[in-house]
Amino acid sequence: MLNQTMDHAKINTIERHILDEQQSHPEATGILTSLLYDIALAGKVIASQTTRGGLVEILGKTGTTNIQGEEVMKLDELADRMIYRLNDHTGRLAVMASEEQEDILPVSPRYPVGKYVLLYDPLDGSSNIDYNVSIGTIFAIYKRTSTSGPGILADCLQRGRNLIAAGYLVYGASTMLVYTSGMGVHGFTLDPIVGEFLLTHPNIRIPEKPKYYSVNQGYEKFWSEGIRRFTKYLQGDEPDFQGQYCKGLSMRYIGSMVADFHRNLLGGGVFFYPADNKDPNFPHGKLRLCYEGAPLAFIVEQAGGTSSNGNQNLLDIQPESLHQRTPMFIGSRDLVEKAEEFIHTYDSRE
Ligand code: P6P
């Protein structure tokens, strides 16, 4: 069956692709390759559950809430536990940190300690699980900065510029894994029959001509003037500072950032979750710098796009705390830069 439908020369598994990339890094020891492969394995296990959600009685809530104060769904727990357990004993990591857990997760003293650091959002968009809307996993890989023993908080609070690799899985109509290790962005689609991620989107580049913008316009009343005017510009109702109007964008937003980001990466456009004043406890918006902003900013920059918190590139922000939030504008370079222009022009006066 496989021979009939695929030319062997075109079958490129994620392992083979990562090994090929590794050839370009003579100093590479293969540990990163194995780490990426472990994450792909976790993605397969999570995908096996998300695609059978309602059939394995795993839907529904656990009755607990996480560090973000969000209700924890059973699939959240499974994804969180799966990624941790597949990585805690391998000797590749010094420390992990999960968006679902308050503190860092140092490697247990009973296991060998490695040189990498893994931050992950095990199941982003999980509030959509019960509605069969695409959800995702995001991961970020750094080299430890501490010198020995189990990793520490400082290992996890690094600027995105230090990222060695980053990626996401999107559990949708198909399961995809998209990653970069600094040599372009590559997408793999899980063939559930073979049980392998096969290369389907080599060298992803965000299209020059954008098609979409993604934002929750239900919060418009909480936005600054700059954000409101930027959104009017995207709708073609407000000129930019050269008197030009934006044409032909469609608004697409499903409230699951990995899926919204993925659409803008492949189709061209901008995703943004701005600072707003709907919750005085969270003036910098809802999304987290370490688990969402930085890894996706690395990916989009490798694909020719860019990101910003409205003022500076997300990759240049030094995290002060593990779960700190950040306004996010991410996607086509021209649109992200327009957002900064509108904010600088209208909001710096506030
Ligand atoms: P809102 C999901 O809970 C999430 O963290 C992101 O995946 C998504 O983009 C955002 O929150 C949706 O938030 O406030 O628009 O419902």
Same domain, 186 and 223: no
| 303 and 191 both lie in a single domain | no
Lowest mean pLDDT among 66-75, 215-224, 279-288, 315-324: 66-75
Domain assignment present for 206: no
The percentage of the chain sitting over the pLDDT mark of 70, rounded to a whole number, equals 93
The DSSP letter of residue 128 is G
Residue 68 Cβ contacting ligand 1 at under 6 Å: no
User: 108 CA to middle of ligand 1, Å?
Assistant: 33
Same structural domain, 139 and 273: no
| Domain of residue 176, CATH code | 3.30.540.10
Strand-pair partners of 61: 73
Residue-wise pLDDT tens digits, 94-116 = 999 999 999 999 898 899 999 99
State yes or no: pLDDT of 163 exceeds 70. yes
Tell me if 255 CB under 6 Å of ligand 1: yes
Rounded mean pLDDT, 39-68: 77
Kindly tell me if the per-residue pLDDT of 28 is higher than 80: no
| Burial class of residue 207 in the structure, from the number of CB atoms within 10 Å of its CB (0-12 exposed, 13-18 middle, 19+ buried) | middle
Kindly state if the Cβ of 125 falls inside 6 Å of ligand 1. Answer: yes
Residue 46 shares a structural domain with residue 161: yes
**Do the beta carbons of residue 84 and residue 38 sit within 8 Å?**
no
User: Are residues 243 and 336 located together in one domain of the fold?
Assistant: yes
Kindly tell me if the per-residue pLDDT of 2 is higher than 70.
no
List, for residues 210-237, the tens digit of each pLDDT value.
999 999 999 999 999 999 999 999 999 9
If you average pLDDT over every residue of the chain, what do you get?
91
Q: Which are the contacts of 56, defined by CB distance < 8 A and separation ≥ 6?
A: 49
Asked if residue 256 has its Cβ within 6 Å of ligand 1, the reply is yes
Q: Which residues is 121 bridged to in the sheet? A: 138
CB proximity list for 215: less than 8 A, separation 6 or greater? 231, 251, 253, 271, 272, 273, 274
For 237, the token pair is 């109702």
Shared domain check, 226 and 133: no
Q: Is 132 a member of any domain?
A: yes
| Ligand 1 midpoint to CA 346 (Å) | 26
Q: 0.85 exceeded by the pTM?
A: yes
- pLDDT for 53 equals 63
DSSP 145-177: SS-SSS--HHHHS--GGG-SEEEEEEESSSEEE
CA of 125 to the centre of ligand 1 (A): 6
The residue nearest atom 12 of ligand 1, judged by CA position, is 255
- Looking at the structure, do residues 48 and 156 belong to the same domain, yes or no? yes
Cα separations in angstroms, 316 against 52, 112, 120, 174, 309 = 40, 32, 19, 33, 10
- The preferred substitution site among 129, 257, 271, 328 for testing ligand 1, maximizing ligand atoms within 8 Å of CB, is 257
For 185, half-sphere exposure in the C-beta direction (CA atoms, 13 angstrom radius) is 23
Closest CA to 25 of 139, 113, 117, 143: 143
E strand or H helix at 61: strand 61-65
Q: How far apart are the first and last CA of the chain?
A: 64
Provide the residue type at 292 as one letter: E
Take atom 10 of ligand 1 and give the residue whose Cα is closest: 255
Residues 228 and 182 in one domain: no
CATH number at residue 322: 3.40.190.80
User: Over 70: is that where the pLDDT of 77 sits?
Assistant: yes
Structural domain includes residue 293: yes
Mean pLDDT of 68-90: 87
**Cβ(216) – ligand 1 distance below 6 Å:** yes
d(CA 80, CA 74): 10
pLDDT at 93: 96
- Say what the pLDDT of residue 126 is: 82
* 147 and 260 both lie in a single domain: no
- From the list 185, 180, 176, the residue with the least C-alpha distance to 44 is 176
Q: What is the pLDDT of residue 4?
A: 52
Backbone phi, then psi, for 307, in 5-degree steps? -145, 165
Tell me the residue range of the domain where 191 lies.
9-201
Q: Comparing 8-12, 53-57, 64-68, which segment has the lowest mean pLDDT?
A: 53-57
pLDDT at position 181 is 92
> For residues 237 and 233, what is the distance between their CA atoms, to the nearest angstrom?
6
Asked whether the CA dihedral 280, 286, 289, 294 is positive or negative, the reply is: negative
pLDDT (tens digit per residue) in 307-321: 999 999 999 999 999
Q: Which of 152, 171, 201 is the last residue of a domain?
A: 201
Using one digit for the tens of pLDDT, what is the confidence trace for 153-162?
999 999 999 9
For 172-185, give the DSSP string.
SSSEEEEEESSS-E
Please check whether residues 239 and 325 belong to one and the same domain: yes
CA 197 to ligand 1 center in whole angstroms:
27
Whether the predicted pLDDT of 190 surpasses 80: yes
Give percent of the chain above pLDDT 90: 71
Name the domain count of the chain. Answer: 2
What is the average per-residue pLDDT within 23-44? 84
For atom 16 of ligand 1, which residue has the closest CA?
Answer: 255
Residue where one domain finishes, among candidates 201, 225, 258 = 201
3 state SS of 275: coil
- pLDDT band (50, 70, 90) for residue 60: low
| CB of 128 sitting under 6 A from ligand 1 | no
